[in-house]
Structure 1
Amino acid sequence: MEDSAKIATFGPNLSHQLHHALTADKNELRQVLQSPSMEVLRAALKNPSLDEAHLLALLERRDLSEELLKAVFSLPAVGESHNLKVAVVRNPNTPGQVTLALLPHLYLFELVTICYLPGVTPDQKLAAERAVIQRLPGTPLGNKLTLARRGTANIIEALLREGDAQIIDACLTNPRIKESAIFQFLSSAKASAETISLIARHPRWKTRPNLITALLRNQKTPVVWYNLFLPTLNTAEIRNLLASQRLSQTQKVAVEEELKRRGQR
């Protein structure tokens, strides 16, 4: 009765569309769900014939209002279907609070895919990245390696902080990795002789002045890299390096030897 009373308050044409949305059979409902009217679509959500296939088709639309998407989210069918949860999150008009509520239900690489969807909002991307990062402690190594190759810059930065050599090696090939993230890693306690060497020999990163400086200031850097990189620095840079309190005794000797070679005291 409530729906009938509501229909009666609209004009004849819209009233007819609303009634049809409520009573259409499965095949007719497909056409109803193409309506530009949010009122008609909202009425269609109450149709007993509405099923998952109808909702998946509806969620492909990019002109849905936030209110309609909230109404879809509240349907019992969404709570019971993983595919519908994913489809709701993937819609660029889905309100932030709905996205946040659904992200914990998505699989790891579904979250990564969301980060790269055309039209994804910055807030949606950030929420998906945070959900991935929160799961990293319990993520198997194989999945972390895949994330290292496919992940966003923020995900890569989180993986670098773990300090695992295999993961670092995979991260270095990711085109989205930022030099600043590598610099921070080289300056951190997580860097080891092995991971520093991975960066020092990497063709993309071994010529970056800031990274060379960072690795030469790390106490764990093998002396072999001092022998390679010190000759490429100017004398003022080498003196600054010698003044660093971070170097090991062996590293200091290598720096002093380079200064002596240049005739410097």
Structure 2
Amino acid sequence: MDSRRKAHAISPHIASRLYGALTCSSEALYGILQDPAHEVVRAALKNRALEEPHLLALLRRRDLSEDLLRAIHQMDLALNSHKVRRALVKNPHLPAPVLQALLPQLHLFELLDICFLPGASPDQKLAAERLIIQRLPTTPLGNKITLARRAPTAIAAELLKEGHAALMDPCLTNPRLQEMAIAQFLRGATASAETISSIARHPRWKARKSVRDAILKHPRTPGIWFTLWMPGMRGPEILQLSASRRLSPSQRQLVKEELRRRGLA
């Protein structure tokens, strides 16, 4: 046998496993799908006894090759089974083009699960986040509230930007929400007196100086926060606040009164 024929030769042991993969019973198929040789697994995909539960068990493996995952994606079982498509998306080795094709077929909170899935690749998590954000305009308020409590940083920030009063407390309590997102919200057009007061009252954010400063410089901030906070501020801070061009006439009057009280006006 020449070298070319030797390269294509299959050992009797592998040949036996390949035959078993093609012909075994449904019960035996579960074990064969755990075979370390991917050619044996690929042969098992052609077994007539193969059903959805077999693929779900196979997709729990984290050593599957991209080619094998592509082959599974092209099977009728994958095309017709939402569970199989979801399991494919959760596999960290799924090729990016297949991931992009499958993610839009997942439900909202299935996408959220991908964001926190142990072992999921950064690309998987980022793609899921982006798709959730794209869906936000058509997402019911109740689902948005649940998202606001649980979502990753970028999604929580997008929900905060909406400025809906019902979303404020869930967003502000979300441990992944960052101070930068609140600063952006307070510079935006969707902040109202009610939502600004939600931030000012919140135990996690009310004591942060940068948040307080941003609140006091917003033209829609209710006067009560000027009355409560200015007595505890230093003179130079009040002077700096008085120079803000964003203050409303009534806010500017409160600042002037505080300066006069301190003899700084």
Alignment TM-score, normalising by the size of structure 1: 0.94
Q: Could you say which residue in structure 2 is the equivalent of 1:179? A: 179
For the pair 1:99 / 2:99, whether they are aligned, the reply is yes
Give the % identical residues. 54
For the pair 1:116 / 2:105, whether they are aligned, the reply is no
Task: Give how far 1:230 is off.
Answer: 1.5
Q: Could you say which residue in structure 1 is the equivalent of 2:240? A: 240
Q: Could you say which residue in structure 1 is the equivalent of 2:147? A: 147
Distance 1:88 1:234 in 2: 58
Cα deviation digits, residues 145-172 of structure 1 (max 9, x gap): 1111111111101101111010112211
Task: Give how far 1:231 is off.
Answer: 2.0
Letter in 1 for 2:18: L
Q: Secondary structure at the match of 1:49?
A: coil
Query: Which has the higher mean CA deviation after the structures are superposed, 90-99 or 141-150?
Result: 90-99
Task: Give how far 1:9 is off.
Answer: 3.2
Number of residues paired by the alignment?
A: 258
For the pair 1:195 / 2:180, whether they are aligned, the reply is no
Distance 1:91 1:219 in 2: 49
Q: Could you say which residue in structure 2 is the equivalent of 1:30? A: 30
Distance 2:62 2:188 in 1: 44
Task: Give how far 1:233 is off.
Answer: 2.2
Letter in 2 for 1:51: E
Q: How does 1:32-47 map onto structure 2 within 5 Å?
A: 32-47=32-47
Query: Which has the higher mean CA deviation after the structures are superposed, 13-22 or 84-93?
Result: 13-22
Cα deviation digits, residues 209-243 of structure 1 (max 9, x gap): 11001111110000111111222322222212111
Q: Secondary structure at the match of 1:10?
A: coil
Q: Could you say which residue in structure 1 is the equivalent of 2:4? A: none
Q: Could you say which residue in structure 2 is the equivalent of 1:89? A: 89
Distance 1:9 1:102 in 2: 37
Letter in 2 for 1:247: L
Letter in 2 for 1:143: N
Q: Could you say which residue in structure 2 is the equivalent of 1:132? A: 132
Q: Could you say which residue in structure 2 is the equivalent of 1:5? A: none
Q: Could you say which residue in structure 2 is the equivalent of 1:162? A: 162
Q: Is contact 1:73–1:88 with CA below 8 Å preserved after alignment?
A: yes
Letter in 1 for 2:136: L
Q: Is contact 1:238–1:255 with CA below 8 Å preserved after alignment?
A: yes
Q: Is contact 1:112–1:151 with CA below 8 Å preserved after alignment?
A: yes
Alignment TM-score, normalising by the size of structure 2: 0.94
Task: Give how far 1:133 is off.
Answer: 0.9
Q: Could you say which residue in structure 2 is the equivalent of 1:4? A: none
Distance 1:255 1:52 in 2: 69
Q: Secondary structure at the match of 1:30?
A: helix
Task: Give how far 1:251 is off.
Answer: 0.6
- State the superposition RMSD in angstroms: 1.1
Runs (5+) with no aligned partner, structure 1 = 1-7
Distance 2:157 2:70 in 1: 34
Q: Could you say which residue in structure 1 is the equivalent of 2:261? A: 261
Distance 2:234 2:252 in 1: 16
Distance 2:199 2:250 in 1: 21
Distance 1:23 1:216 in 2: 74
Q: Is contact 1:23–1:47 with CA below 8 Å preserved after alignment?
A: yes
Q: Secondary structure at the match of 2:173?
A: coil
Task: Give how far 1:74 is off.
Answer: 1.1
Cα deviation digits, residues 13-71 of structure 1 (max 9, x gap): 11221121112121221111110111111111111111101000001111111211111
